[in-house]
Amino acid sequence: MGISKKILLIIFLFSVCFISAQTTTDTLIIKGKMFVRHIVKPNETYNSISKKYNVSTKELKLYNKNSTIFYHQSLLIPIKSTLSERLLLKNKRTNNLFSLNSRKWKESRKKDTLNIAVLLPFYTTKNDSLLSFLSESQQTKEDIYKGSYMALNFLEGVIIATDSLNKTGMNINLFVYDTENDSNKVQQIINDGKLKNIDLIIGPVYRRNLSKVTKLYGRNQDKIIVSPLSRNTNVLKHGKNVYQIIPPFKVQIDKNSNYISKKHKNEKILILAKKEEEKYAKQYKSFFRKEKRKVKVCLFDGLNTITRDTLCKFLTNHKYIVLIPSTDRSFVTKTLTAMGTIDTNMTVFGLHNWRSFENLDIETLMKLNVHFPDPYYFDYQLPENKRFISLFKDRFHALPNKYAQVAFQQCMYFCFNKGDYKFKKYYTKGGFINHHFPIVKYKDYTIGKVD
């Protein structure tokens, strides 16, 4: 998404907070049309409310279908902002729809409308300079708070998914809430009853905030709660209707182990790990000892002990599977760099978060034949993903990043059961973890699926 489009979205979020400061901060999208809610106060009329929001009384009555209003009534106020319409409303030129069966969806949901709430850290209160940025071209991109980008990108994917599903005849109401990564803000959203009538809750992103939602609604079978980006499984303890997309490292190690057992039966196995992460090394060691395969384990006290000479003592003239169950960027970087100088035939297996280690040298990754599990993997050759990219480019004039991609996939799966996720119980009385994700490797300067 271009920088100007990100600005427009944040400006829109500001405008919602401003015009509804005395009423509500709800953002609601119904069939591509954007609204905020207004709670009627004593002595208010359609006429006074229409002047406050700069909309006609005719429009208010059209969307609220009441000739009279009463105290504490909830009214839908259509947003007239050109900025929001440019970014979030339906693109009339787009006719490239997803071939989905809305009847099947309605039958499975047994209701005509699906209410979705997305709780993300937009940090709108930390973006005070954006209004001046929009009006003064001399301002720089850095005026946007960098912590907002992930939420903005994720929301883009949600918008493409829900808009596409609405165009097939589904009725999807999308609510957007800014958590600001603040537990008190999340608790206020809950206390205000914002999630009471929501069917699908996506987020919050961070565990401490998500746990507040799961503790209250985690056993409400009328709702589905999705942990979209976290690997922490503690929130799954709170309910049977909680689904986690990104598997914890324990599940990733099991995935690597099973793949190696099937595809690499003859190579020697070497495990390199930090002492602080010995539990992951033990998990690998336990698996392969059950298969009666010999395993060497080397634990390092610190980065200064990782040298080419040290590693050469373990890597002789054989084929090796080298397992590095580490989440530490510095440890992984130094270990791979040293291994890259050794002329030995080896295949390295790491963990999912390595993909975010931008300092790793691609030449070294290819030489070492680095593999890792990738829950974020996005197959650009699948027809539905090609259509998503086409819609995204048409709407945002850019290619989607990983957060937009995973958001799109999650919405399509939970709204229509369309996608590759497969879930299994992680705790006996708790929620579910996604266990269907590929192992990928570096080849020809890109990442490709191997299983």
Can you spell out the DSSP letters for 193-254? TTTTT-SEEE--SSHHHHHHHHHHHTT-TT-EEEE-S----GGGGG-TTEEESSPPHHHHHH
Would you state the pLDDT for residue 378?
A: 87
Q: Which helix (H) or strand (E) holds 372?
A: strand 371-373
Would you state the pLDDT for residue 262?
A: 93
pLDDT in tens, 10-19: 444 443 433 3
pLDDT in tens, 230-239: 988 998 988 8
- Percent of the chain at pLDDT above 90? 37
pLDDT in tens, 219-271: 888 899 999 999 889 989 888 899 999 999 999 999 999 999 999 988 899 99
* Contact residues for 336 (Cβ-Cβ < 8 A; gap 6+): 324, 348, 360, 361, 364, 365, 368, 370
Quick one: pLDDT band at residue 82, thresholds 50, 70, 90? very low
Please give the distance of CA 450 from its chain centroid, rounded to a whole number: 23
Would you state the pLDDT for residue 95?
A: 28
pLDDT in tens, 391-423: 998 888 888 988 999 999 999 888 877 777 889
Homologous superfamily (CATH) for 249-374: Response regulator (3.40.50.2300)
Long-range pairs for 350-354: beta carbons < 8 A, 24 or more residues apart: 350/324, 350/325, 350/326, 351/249, 351/252, 351/253, 351/325, 351/326, 351/327, 352/246, 352/247, 352/249, 352/252, 352/376, 353/327
Would you state the pLDDT for residue 148?
A: 81
Residue of 326, 125, 325, 157 lying closest to 229 (CA atoms): 157
pLDDT in tens, 11-43: 444 434 333 333 344 556 665 566 777 888 888
Long-range pairs for 310-313: beta carbons < 8 A, 24 or more residues apart: 310/338, 311/272, 311/335, 311/338, 311/339, 311/342, 312/342
Q: What is the mean pLDDT of residues 162-178?
A: 85
Query: Is residue 63 pLDDT above 50, yes or no?
Result: yes
Residue of 242, 249, 208 lying closest to 228 (CA atoms): 242
Q: Alpha-carbon distance 149 to 325, whole Å? A: 29
Would you state the pLDDT for residue 120?
A: 92
CATH 3.40.50.2300 region(s) of the chain?
Answer: 97-246+384-434, 249-374
Q: What is the mean pLDDT of residues 91-99?
A: 32
Classify domain 97-246+384-434 by CATH number: 3.40.50.2300
Q: What is the mean pLDDT of residues 53-80?
A: 80
**Average pLDDT of the chain, as a whole number:** 80
Would you state the pLDDT for residue 324?
A: 95
